[in-house]
């Protein structure tokens, strides 16, 4: 994503972006990733400068497989369970305020009980 000047997108300094209500365009999860239900995801990259990405991501109820990228995120809304397939770690429960770090290559299953929205930072 770039701004109108061709430079990486930036959040405006000193301005507020309402990540909780930001409009996202949901798309169905690819069928090879769906575990159950008919989940969709949407995201918006808000800032791509400085060698990192900041964005908002949302998933509707259902379950999907994923291979993670390096990221840190905080949950804004919703409720979900993340199961770790590889490496085999205990499942985690996500609720508003949950702060999580994922490593690139982790294989997970996201089970969303109530539409989940998070803000993420990734290199």
Indicate the pLDDT class of residue 6, thresholds 50, 70 and 90: low
Q: d(Cα 84, Cα 99) in Å, to the nearest integer?
A: 16
Mean pLDDT within 99-123: 98
Does 20 map to a domain? no
Indicate the pLDDT class of residue 59, thresholds 50, 70 and 90: very high
Mean pLDDT of the chain: 93
Does 19 map to a domain? no
Does 22 map to a domain? no
CATH number at residue 92: 2.60.120.10
**3 pLDDT higher than 60:** no
Q: Which domain holds residue 116?
A: 27-122
* Predicted local confidence at residue 8, as pLDDT: 64
For the chain, the domain total comes to 1
Q: d(Cα 113, Cα 80) in Å, to the nearest integer?
A: 5
Does 2 map to a domain? no
Does 16 map to a domain? no
């Amino acid at each position: 994503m770039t701004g109108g000047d061709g430079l990486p997108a930036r959040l405006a300094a000193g301005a507020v972006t309402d990540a909780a209500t930001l409009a996202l365009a949901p798309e169905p999860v690819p069928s090879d990733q769906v575990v159950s239900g008919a989940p969709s995801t949407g995201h918006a990259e808000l800032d791509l400068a400085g060698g990192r990405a900041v964005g908002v991501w949302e998933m509707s109820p259902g379950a999907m497989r994923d291979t993670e990228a390096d990221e840190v995120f905080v949950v804004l809304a919703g409720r979900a369970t993340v199961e770790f397939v590889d490496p085999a770690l205990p499942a985690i429960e996500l609720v508003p305020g949950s702060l999580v770090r994922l490593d690139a290559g982790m294989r997970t299953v996201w089970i969303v009980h109530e539409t989940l929205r998070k803000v993420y930072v990734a290199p």
